[in-house]
């Protein structure tokens, strides 16, 4: 298939996990991909695996200069950028009381400031070309609260607001901006102890689909939003969460069905 034929994408955090799955899928669908990440070894190996359709660039999303550099390299290699997937992110489990200012700033700098800089820098390039698609990877925790995730919550809610503002400012200039909100996904972040799938699924019995998600399931959602098939979506929020935000699936309560 070639749903992204003749398109060029920058994918941040593109070396592994959801980003790696997205890089592979986009190339399989005909795109040229710039894998932008701080993980040099993993990013370089993935780019080598994907061949001439991929370029790895070391990229710190929290630094404005790094954004200008990755955009320049993308243009020099592939001629322009049609798609940006702001996927890079970090997670921190700490209570508000235990979260230091440095902790909070690090999470916000990578997750939110990094997304803002991408929207600003690459979005400006897209506007000059009068077309483009920006996919911001937020989280279900950008739609709800969670204990011990104050910095992460704040950053992901911020991405949601930024996406809506950008959709308003960019949509009429030919650039669509949408957000994806993953739930628990089987990545180094979502499954840090690399539990077997059956074991990891035990932590998701309250989710309607009762399992952890796969990186490819998020990648396919980003593919749809990046493609021309989503040409009338702008400012949309898509939860890829197994139904987590729908409500809690009750197990073991009187009158509730079994699993």
The neighbour count for residue 254, using CB atoms within 10 Å, is: 5
Q: Provide the total of helices (H) and of strands (E) in the chain, helices listed first.
A: 8, 7
Burial class (CB in 10 A: 0-12, 13-18, 19+), 102: exposed
E strand or H helix that includes residue 8: strand 8-12
Known catalytic membership, residue 152: yes
Who contacts 80 (Cβ-Cβ below 8 Å, separation ≥6)? 8, 74, 125, 129
Q: Which residue among the candidates 152, 170, 204, 249 is catalytic per the annotation?
A: 152
Report DSSP letters for 107-144, one per residue: HHIIIIIHHHHHHHHHHHHHHHHT-EEEEEE--GGGTS
Measuring CA to CA, how many Å separate 128 from each of 166, 168, 175, 252?
15, 17, 10, 57
- Cα atoms found within 13 Å of the Cα of residue 82, Cβ hemisphere only: 17
Taking CA 58 as the corner, what is the angle to CA 107 and CA 118, rounded to the nearest 5 degrees? 55
Catalytic residues: 152
């Amino acid at each position: 298939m070639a749903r992204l034929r003749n398109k060029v994408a920058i994918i941040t955090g593109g070396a592994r996990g959801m980003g790696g799955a997205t890089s592979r899928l986009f190339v399989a669908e005909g795109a040229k991909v710039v894998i932008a990440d701080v993980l040099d070894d993993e990013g370089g190996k993935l780019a080598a695996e994907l061949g001439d359709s991929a370029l790895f660039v070391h990229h710190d999303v929290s630094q404005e200069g790094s954004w200008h550099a990755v955009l320049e390299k993308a243009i020099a290699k592939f001629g322009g950028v049609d798609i940006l997937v702001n996927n890079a992110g970090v997670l921190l489990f700490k209570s508000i009381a235990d979260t230091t200012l440095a902790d909070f700033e690090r999470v916000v700098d990578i997750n939110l400031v990094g997304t803002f800089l991408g929207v600003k820098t690459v979005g400006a390039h897209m506007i000059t070309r009068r077309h483009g698609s920006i996919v911001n990877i937020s989280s279900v925790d950008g739609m709800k609260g969670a204990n011990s995730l104050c910095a992460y919550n704040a950053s992901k809610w911020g991405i949601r607001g930024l996406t809506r503002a950008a959709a308003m400012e960019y949509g009429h200039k030919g650039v669509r901006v949408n957000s994806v909100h993953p739930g628990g996904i089987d990545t180094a972040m979502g499954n840090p102890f690399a539990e077997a799938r059956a074991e990891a699924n035990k932590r998701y019995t309250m989710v309607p689909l009762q399992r952890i998600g796969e990186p490819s399931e998020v990648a396919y959602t980003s593919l749809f939003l990046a493609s021309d098939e989503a040409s009338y979506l702008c400012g949309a929020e898509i939860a890829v969460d197994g139904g987590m935000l729908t409500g809690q699936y009750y197990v073991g309560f009187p009158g509730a069905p079994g699993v």
